[in-house]
Amino acid sequence: MTVEDMPESWEVVLSRTPFRGAKTAVRSDDVVMPGGSTARRDYQVHPGSVAVLALDDEGRVLVLRQYRHPVRHKLWEIPAGLLDVPGENPLLAAQRELYEEAHAKAEDWRVLVDLYPSPGGSDEAVRVFLARGLASVEGERYAVTDEEADMTLESVPVAELVRGVLAGELHNTCLVTGVLALQAAQAQAGGLDALRPADADWPARPY
C-alpha cells in the first residue's frame, strides 16, 4: 500500500464567485457527490504562499511576532508571504520574504515540507523552505507598514520552539509544521542534506 495524496477532481455543475478581495476570493461550487446528488462547497481561492524556516549555525530559528486580526492574537511565526506575483518562482519569493521580514539572506536552500493548511475551506498551498548559512543583508531595512510595522524578530532554539508547540503555546501553521518537520528531518538518514532541492517540483503551484 502506498500512502500518497493523489490528484482527483469531481464534477462541478455550477460555480459562482460571490466575493473577490484584494488577494483572495470566495468560490461556491455545486459538486456531484458519490450516488449522483450535489452538494455546495464554499471555499477561499488563494494564490498560495511560501514560508522560510531560517536556521542559524547555533541551532536557532528566526521567528517573528505579528498581530493577526482574525484570531485576535500576536503569533510567533516564521517569515512568509503570498505568491501574489503571477508566475513567480517560489524560491525567489521565499528569498524576498526572508529579506523583507528578517533583513537576512541564506546560502543553502531546501524544501522542508509542502502542505494544504486548510483543505476543507481553502485551496491555499504552502511550501516551507529550510534556509541555512544565514547572513544579514547590507543596507537599509525594507520599509514595512500596517501590522508588519509592529513586528519583532528573535532567534529561538529549535528545542524551545518544539516545546512551545507541544505545550499548546505556539499555533501558527507554518511555524508548527516547520519546526516539527525540521526535527523529523534531522532524525532521518542523511539528515537535512537529504531534503528535496529548493527547485523540486510543486504540482500544487507550478511556475
Q: Hey, which residues are catalytic here?
A: 148
Q: Residue 145, class by beta-carbon neighbours within 10 Å (0-12 exposed, 13-18 middle, 19+ buried)?
A: exposed
Helices marked H in the chain: 90-102, 158-166, 173-187
Strand partners, 106: 134
What is the radius of gyration, based on Cα positions, of the chain? 19
Q: How far apart are CA 162 and CA 174, in angstroms?
A: 13
CA dihedral 129, 132, 135, 141 (to 10 degrees): 10
